[in-house]
Amino acid sequence: MLELAIISLVISILAGGMGFTGLARGARTVALTIFGVFLAIALFLFLLLILGVRLLGS
């Protein structure tokens, strides 16, 4: 998931540098959305780890 966010960010930077501002804005939005989802999932799993919740029984 983080890989997709990085790819979208690179596309956004390249498109912006070449003057395709509409494409760059869209790719930036996609990158920020994917990164936000990744960050939320990572924080949730870290919180579960801190609280000692086991995802697999044993």
pLDDT tens for residues 15-35? 988 989 888 898 889 989 999
Task: With beta carbons less than 8 A apart as the criterion, state whether 58 and 21 touch.
Answer: no
Rounded Cα–Cα distance for residues 46 and 48 (Å): 5
pTM value > 0.85? no
As a whole number, the mean pLDDT across the chain is 86
Confidence of residue 53 (pLDDT cuts 50, 70, 90): confident
More confident residue, 5 or 38: 38
